[in-house]
Amino acid sequence: MSDWDGRGLPPAAEARLRRAESGGPGSSLLKISGQAALEGCGFSVVGEAMGCIVHHIGWQGFGGCGYYGAGGFGQAGLLGGLGSYGPGPVTSGRSAGYVGFGAYAEAMYHGYDTAILRMLYECKALGADGVVGARLQVTYLGEGNREFLAYGTAVKAHSKSRPANLFSTELQGHDVAKLLHGGWVPVSICVGISVAVRHDDWVTLNQASTWSGNTEVRGYTDLVNHVRADARHQFQRRCAAYGGDGAVMSSMSLDVWEQEVAENHRDHVALSAVTGTTIARFHKEEHAITSTLSILPMRDTPVPTGRKT
């Protein structure tokens, strides 16, 4: 195994590309219908593209008590109030800075972005224009290590007018074909991440206890709603940074765990990740709507005028 400085493609990926250059049909992860739809839009399959990184997430930032939300970092501050000492969530995004789990969220971004970038490196090396039907996957390897994986099908345009930049999308082939027919093009996969911590105050602990019966735990509802809303906000912010005119959201995940920051002092942490595709218009002309027959006649030749059928 040769040494690698982390730039460009890993040695294993280089070897895989050399095997692809030696000849043989290009493999595809697309369904037959999606591949045929792309062929009809002027794209052909070149092969598979993959990128991955194993990232160790050690220091996660201030993961302590979610109770202390002063100075605009608490629930009221993030939602437009004046800030308060209350049990509201402390979130990694928006104005939170290094408070909460900002470092943890940045490490997650680095993992996703690096995997997608290395997938596009392979796409470029294959002579393709973009990756369709990409899939994102995170695998926990223990001791703070995670594998971030991005893989999909590299496609190339037949026409002389090629895309100016490599594109990537989680959308499948038939959906990309519909976008192209509608005047849209995929730009890039986008990920929005938010991590929030909330202190388990007395009310929350009482509602979550075994003897509380069937009741809403308002503190946990507050936490998951807050982190999902902030993840959507981060997704929209990053989509705008990519220069797209819109976005197609494909998934929204949620992971919740508890941590004991001191004796008899417990917090809950929530992580939400939103993924999708930024899209842009390539023309703004309205498509003419053609009329169609509601009943298809089965005759081979037209019936002469005046003749009864």
Q: Which of 112, 109, 134 is nearest to 123 (CA)?
A: 134
Phi then psi for residue 30, to 5 deg, are -85, 155
At 77 the pLDDT is 28
Categorize the per-residue pLDDT at 84 as very low, low, confident or very high, splitting at 50, 70 and 90: very low
| C-beta separation of 201 from 219 below 8 A | yes
- Model's pTM, two decimal places? 0.76
Note whether residue 243 is domain-resident: yes
Q: Which of 194, 56, 191, 193 is nearest to 136 (CA)?
A: 191
**72-86, 167-181, 256-270: least confidently modelled range:** 72-86
Whether 89 shows a pLDDT value over 70: the answer reads no
Note whether residue 288 is domain-resident: no
The C-alpha atoms of residue 232 and residue 138 are separated, in whole angstroms, by 19
Percent of the chain whose pLDDT exceeds 90: 35
The C-alpha atoms of residue 69 and residue 197 are separated, in whole angstroms, by 10
Query: pLDDT for 273-299, tens place per residue?
Result: 999 999 998 765 544 444 444 454 555
Look at the chain and count its residues: 309
Note whether residue 36 is domain-resident: yes
Cα–Cα distances (Å) from 190 to 55, 57, 59, in that order, read 19, 21, 25
User: With 0-12 CB in 10 A as exposed, 13-18 as middle and 19+ as buried, what is 243?
Assistant: exposed
Domain that holds residue 178: 11-281
**15-29, 30-44, 168-182: least confidently modelled range:** 15-29
At 203 the pLDDT is 78
> What's the start-to-end Cα distance of the chain, in Å?
79
The C-alpha atoms of residue 226 and residue 75 are separated, in whole angstroms, by 8
Note whether residue 182 is domain-resident: yes
Note whether residue 304 is domain-resident: no
Note whether residue 5 is domain-resident: no
Number of domains in the chain: 1
At 177 the pLDDT is 93
At 173 the pLDDT is 92
Query: pLDDT for 24-82, tens place per residue?
Result: 666 788 888 989 999 888 898 988 999 999 998 875 555 455 544 433 333 322 332 22
Note whether residue 207 is domain-resident: yes
Sheet holding 43-56, edge to edge: 43-56, 145-157, 130-142, 167-168
**Strand runs labelled E in the chain:** 43-56, 90-91, 130-142, 145-157, 167-168, 184-199, 246-262, 265-281
The C-alpha atoms of residue 145 and residue 56 are separated, in whole angstroms, by 4
The C-alpha atoms of residue 262 and residue 176 are separated, in whole angstroms, by 51
Note whether residue 188 is domain-resident: yes
Amino acid type, 118: R
